Amino acid sequence: MSELELDHPVFDADNHYYEALDAFTRHLDPALGSRVIQWSEVNGRRYHVIGGRVSHAVTNPTFDPVALPGAMYDYFRGNPDHRSPLEFLARREPIRPAYRDPEARLATLDAQGMAGCLLFPTLGMIYEEPLAHDPVAVCHLFRAFNRWMAEEWTFNYRDRIFAAPYLTLADPAWAAEELEWALGSGARTVVMRPAAPTTTLGQRNPFDPMFDAFWGLANEAGIAVVVHAADSGGSSNGYAVDGFAATFGGGWKPSIKSFAIEQAIRDYLLTLIFENHFERFPNLRIASVENGAEYLPDVIKKIRSTANKMPGYWKNDPVETLRQHVWINPFWEDDVYQVADCIGSDRVIFGSDWPHIEGLPEPIEYVSELKSFTNEDRRMILFDNVQGLITLRPT
């Protein structure tokens, strides 16, 4: 199926930019550089120094040159040609204007046949954890980063590109204040990582009442909160070296770290339901993006099992509560029909992860994965559901 056979637009709920060199520093007090973030050159390469430590989370944080969009496509399709994973990343190209300029990105969306996109950070999704030991520094980092984002991309570019400011719960008061600023600056969604934030009091459940000012404002404003794949700080419990590093660096072998993203969102969604969060904030909407969906049947099974063991704990069926308040963006290689069976077609959103190496080379290719859906369900997954999410729904 091609886009020409569709009678509706297609909206990509998972796009990324590659951060400009000054994305984290343009609005950061230079006196805070050594505490928060600065550039350093090591063996002829430029790296970010975060909290005083060189970050090797990505091979080249300047992104020039950078791997091609969807470079790992065949690998995630099952690697039918049995190539070494490192081979997929051998080719690099100069950074494209579309990765850093909104007008160039609009032209790319037109060429891709996309009506619009949600736009998320790349480095920004993995830089909270290296600073987690210093919650004040985390807030300095992302306040500066969000001001850069507002200047470079805006939060609503021509009603087609919706960049999401990054929010952290490292400081509850900061989170509420930053959300209020984001709403006043035109944000249509916000993004955070699926993790228990580290505060000055230590790690805390993200649904603890200490964060009620943030969640209450999100509930009142009716803005959807995206929890996006990130460095969530999960432990491998000794089975692998912890920390977010390039998966295909050095020698290649399988690792349980490959499943860290699914573990993080699984724990997040289970806790979200176990804490009765939606009973306290009934207007809240959560979207899981780029976290996959293979865990979803197990999450539903565990919720049902817990509900049977604890009758009366929930006022309403907790599985139905999950289905009412949570939207799921599966990995493009996931079984989307199983996801729709679990959560409903009206809660599935399409996202290509373009231009990341794990994403689709051409986002429109995903249409063929939906050929057995009805026209109505296909339209919901490709367009209507995310349009509803980015529409503010205040109480």
**In the predicted structure, residue 335 carries a pLDDT above the cut 60:** yes
Over the stretch 84-99, which tens digit does the pLDDT of each residue have?
888 898 899 999 999 9
In this prediction, residue 311 carries a pLDDT of 96
Taking residues 363-373, report their average pLDDT. 96
Taking residues 72-95, report their average pLDDT. 91
Taking residues 178-189, report their average pLDDT. 98
The structure's pTM equals: 0.96
In this prediction, residue 255 carries a pLDDT of 86
Q: Tell me, letter by letter, the H, E, C secondary structure of the chain.
A: CCHHHCCCCCEEEEEECCCCCCCCCCCCCHHHCCCCEEEEEECCEEEEEECCEECCCCCCCCCCCEECCCCCHHHHCCCCCCCCHHHHHCCEECCCHHHCCHHHHHHHHHHHCCCEEEEECCHHHCCCHHHCCCHHHHHHHHHHHHHHHHHHCCCCECCCEEECCECCCCCHHHHHHHHHHHHHCCCCEEEECCCCCEECCEECCCCCHHHHHHHHHHHHHCCEEEEECCCCCCCCCCCCCCCCCCCCCCCCCCCHHHHHHHHHHHHHHHHHHHCCHHHHCCCCCEEEECCCCCCHHHHHHHHHHHHHHCCCCCCCCHHHHHHHHEEECCCCCCCHHHHHHHHCHHHECCCCCECCCCCCCCHHHHHHHHCCCCHHHHHHHHHHHHHHHCCCCCC
In this prediction, residue 151 carries a pLDDT of 98
**In the predicted structure, residue 280 carries a pLDDT above the cut 50:** yes
In this prediction, residue 15 carries a pLDDT of 98
In this prediction, residue 302 carries a pLDDT of 98
In the chain, domain spans = 10-389
Percentage of the residues of the chain whose pLDDT score is greater than 90: 91
In this prediction, residue 252 carries a pLDDT of 64
Over the stretch 217-276, which tens digit does the pLDDT of each residue have?
999 999 999 999 999 999 889 998 888 765 544 456 788 888 999 999 999 999 999 999
**Banded pLDDT at 73 (limits 50, 70, 90):** very high
In this prediction, residue 258 carries a pLDDT of 87
**In the predicted structure, residue 2 carries a pLDDT above the cut 60:** no
In this prediction, residue 229 carries a pLDDT of 98
In this prediction, residue 245 carries a pLDDT of 64
Q: Output the average pLDDT for the chain.
A: 95
In this prediction, residue 251 carries a pLDDT of 53
Taking residues 53-82, report their average pLDDT. 94
Least confident of 119-123, 166-170, 259-263, 267-271: 259-263
**Banded pLDDT at 214 (limits 50, 70, 90):** very high
10-389 has CATH 3.30.70.3270 classification: no
